[in-house]
Chain A
Amino acid sequence: MSSPTPPTIRLQIEFSGGLELLFSHTRKHTVNLPSTVPNSTRPADASYLILYLRDNLLKERPELFEEKGTVKPGILVLINDTDWELEGEGEYELKDGDEIVFISTLHGG
């Protein structure tokens, strides 16, 4: 008997500012994220998403994306076009259909 598929939420993920180079050189991704953190009852939040993307979507140089359980310094996270700091940062509980954008700040000119 097959075990039931854990419920997931569908997220639109986008990378820019060079971060897309770490994710198969692709800017936009659709991700089906488990709606609760595995082996817990904690609803999937932005912190969990970062680790999930590191483990499941990232193709190279993880140290350029994740550091100490959050994004590396210099990366802005947007939740539905709003700075994640206004949305509770890592504790923001993700909803089906959310659009999360990761932007690496540029220094050049």
Chain B
Amino acid sequence: MASSPTPEFPPLDLPEYKRYGRQMILDGFGLEGQQKLKAASVLVVGAGGLGCPALQYLAAAGVGRIGIVDHDTVESSNLQRQILHNEETLGLLKVDSAAQFVRRLNSLVQVTTYPNALHPSNALEIMRPYDIILDCTDNLPTRYLLSDSAVALDKPLVSGAAMRFEGQLCVYNLNASSASSTSPSATPDKGPCYRCLFPTPAVGGGTCEEVGILGVVTGVIGNLQAAEAIKIILGKNEPKPSLLLYSFLYSPPFRSIKLRGKKANCAACGDAAGGGGIDFGNMDYVQMCGGATPDWLKEGMKAGSAGSRVTPQELKSAIGTDCNTVILDVRPRTEYGICSIEGSTNIPITELLANPSSALTSIAPSGDVYVVCRLGNDSQLAADALRQTSQEVGGDVDGGRKVVDVIGGLRLWSRAVDEKFPVY
């Protein structure tokens, strides 16, 4: 007969002993550990590269109730890292695709889906029913909103982030009273919130779509987020605030940093905020973080000032009629190495802008210059810089040499001119 379970936690059903036995026999986990997981609830915000692996382990471990927030749908470019989604769930809402996976993995888990973008008007309502919040999002405004909401609700926030070959992990608002029922007066030991560390939002920084991300990096960080959540549920988390850095490329790959505690003058969790957090109603998080991220696809398609931009078809006919046509590709070298227009020259945008006149002299001395990039945004900057430089060195170079850039970049080139040209 099973020993009598700890009364404040739900009892386990017979199949659960077998299912979770491998972790229940661990010293320091035991029956009570499994009961704590069963009684616990975790909200995973973002069902992408970080959220997928986190959800997988939280569900497998037997967390009783899991919420999933995401408003996006599954695309093929997600599958390289968002491992709960698959070829059959392309086009579905990510919350539905992820929930389907979780239910197949562990039907004992109660799953709730929120196909919403998190917003000041719905954040508290969505987060309130959960013990722990996982920040698996991909943008700065939502990170601040989650932090401010977690402070207002006094809940720990397990935050993951990843980009290129690197990841970061931090638990904010640690030792929130809801997580450590033993010491409700532990205010001085409270960990920092996101605003304690970053009072002023950093503007810019790029997205995974722009700068890239390796799947195993989000996998490592997402798994660690699940681990931290489980530690908090079991009461085994490290009480001192720290930031963990992971780098795929370096040895040793991990580095842990001691962080400041909660800041007394923090706008969200500091004494002045009175413990109630920030006033959500008056907060425009997107504006606070430098405004909406431009729609680069759309920006790259704009007509531009007269004579400054040409269509991919115009480039195509220029190549056909003038053998002196110079195609200048300003993407980073690695992207150029993936695919390029035959006969083009590569000068990355950063190098070109740092020294436009040297770029101008390093390309073929005559022929009109057609600047291209991935979507048609950097090419506008590059063409502007080249035109300005050529004016400074004496009007139109070589008597009327023209510098234009290609609308829509290689993305549109592939669609309108050469459908065999890869889109990435």
Interface residues of A (CB under 8 A from B): 16-18, 27, 60-61, 64, 72-76, 78, 81-83, 85-86, 101, 103-109
Q: Is the CB of A27 within 8 A of B250?
A: yes
**Cα distance A76–B258 in the bound complex, in angstroms:** 12
Q: Which residues of A contact B198 (CB under 8 A)?
A: 73-74, 105
Q: Which of A17, A86, A109 lies in contact with B46, CB distance below 8 A? A: A109
Contact partners of B247 in chain A: CB under 8 A: 16
* C-alpha gap A89/B414 in the complex (Å): 51
What is the chain A residue whose CB lies nearest that of B136? Answer: A109
How many Cβ-Cβ contacts under 8 Å join chain A to chain B?
Answer: 95
Residues of A within 8 A of B202 (CB): 72-75, 104-105
With A and B bound together, what is the CA distance between A106 and B51 in angstroms? 16
The reply to whether the CB of B162 lies closer than 8 angstroms to some CB of chain A is: yes
Q: With A and B bound together, what is the CA distance between A61 and B198 in angstroms?
A: 21
Query: A82, A85, A101, A109: which contacts B48 (Cβ < 8 A)?
Result: A109
Q: Are A18 and B164 in contact (CB under 8 A)?
A: yes
Contact B162 A109, beta carbon cutoff 8 Å: yes
CB distance from A102 to the nearest CB of B (A): 12
| In the bound complex, CA of A60 to CA of B355 (Å) | 11
Asked whether, in the complex, the Cβ of A106 is within 8 Å of the Cβ of B258, the reply is no
- The verdict on B260 contacting chain A, using a C-beta distance below 8 Å, is yes
Query: Does chain A have a CB within 8 A of B302?
Result: no
Flag whether B168 is at the interface (Cβ < 8 A). Answer: yes
Nearest-neighbour CB distance to chain B for A55, whole angstroms, equals: 16
Of A27, A73, A86, A104, the residue contacting B201 (CB under 8 A) is A73
B164 touching A109, Cβ below 8 Å: no
* A106 lies within 8 A of B50 (CB): no
CB of B205 within 8 A of CB of A74, answer yes
Q: How many residues of B contact A (CB 8 A)?
A: 46
Q: Contact between A107 and B138 (Cβ–Cβ < 8 Å)?
A: yes
Chain B 255-270 residues near chain A, CB threshold 8 A? 255-260
Q: Which residues of B contact A82 (CB under 8 A)?
A: 257-258
Do the beta carbons of A106 and B167 come within 8 Å of each other? Answer: yes
Q: Name 27 interchain pairs, CB-CB below 8 A, sorted by A.
A: A16-B166, A17-B168, A18-B163, A18-B211, A27-B250, A60-B350, A60-B354, A73-B198, A76-B243, A83-B243, A83-B257, A85-B260, A104-B202, A104-B205, A106-B167, A106-B168, A106-B205, A107-B143, A107-B205, A108-B138, A108-B206, A108-B207, A108-B211, A109-B46, A109-B49, A109-B51, A109-B138
The minimal Cβ–Cβ distance linking B327 to chain A, given in whole angstroms, is 25
Q: Please report the C-alpha to C-alpha distance between residue A101 and residue B245 in the assembled complex, in whole angstroms.
A: 12
A55 to B321, CA, bound (A): 48
* CB-nearest residue of chain A to B143: A107
Contact present for B245 and A103 (CB under 8 Å): yes
The answer to whether A73 touches B161, judged by C-beta atoms less than 8 angstroms apart, is no
Could you say which of A18, A75, A81, A83 contacts B260, with CB atoms under 8 Å apart?
A83
Instruction: State how many angstroms separate the Cβ of B156 from the closest Cβ of chain A.
Output: 18
Instruction: Please report the C-alpha to C-alpha distance between residue A15 and residue B381 in the assembled complex, in whole angstroms.
Output: 28
Q: Is the CB of A108 within 8 A of B260?
A: no
Kindly list the 6 A-B residue pairs having the minimum CB-CB distance in the complex, ordered from nearest: A74-B202, A73-B200, A106-B161, A108-B163, A109-B50, A108-B208
**In the complex, which residues of chain A have a beta carbon less than 8 angstroms from the beta carbon of B49?**
109
- Cα–Cα distance between A86 and B192 once the two chains are bound (Å): 13
CA distance A93 to B257 in the complex (A): 20
Let me know if B204 is at the binding interface, CB within 8 A: yes
| Cα A72 to Cα B136 with chains together (Å) | 24
Contact partner, B160, options A81, A103, A109, Cβ 8 Å: A109
User: Chain A contacts of B50 at CB under 8 A?
Assistant: 109
Q: Given the complex, which residues of A lie within 8 Å of B243, measured CB to CB? A: 76, 83
> Cβ of B161 and Cβ of A109 under 8 Å apart?
yes
Quote the shortest CB–CB distance from B130 to chain A (angstroms): 19
Interface string of B24-51 (1 = CB under 8 A from A): 0000000000000000000000101111
Decide if B257 touches A78 in the complex (CB within 8 Å).
Answer: yes
Q: Which B residue sits closest to A21, measured CB to CB? A: B350
Q: What's the minimum C-beta distance from A106 to chain B, rounded to whole angstroms? A: 4
Q: How far is the CA of A76 from the CA of B247 in the complex (A)?
A: 16
Interface centre among A76, A82, A109 (most CB of B within 10 A): A109
Q: CA A75 – CA B243 in complex, angstroms?
A: 13
Complex CA gap A61/B353 in Å reads 10
Taking A109-B49, A109-B161, A109-B162 as known contacts, 15 extra A-B pairs with beta carbons closer than 8 A to each other, sorted by chain A number, are A16-B247, A17-B163, A17-B168, A60-B350, A61-B350, A73-B199, A73-B202, A74-B201, A74-B202, A74-B205, A83-B259, A106-B205, A107-B139, A108-B211, A109-B50
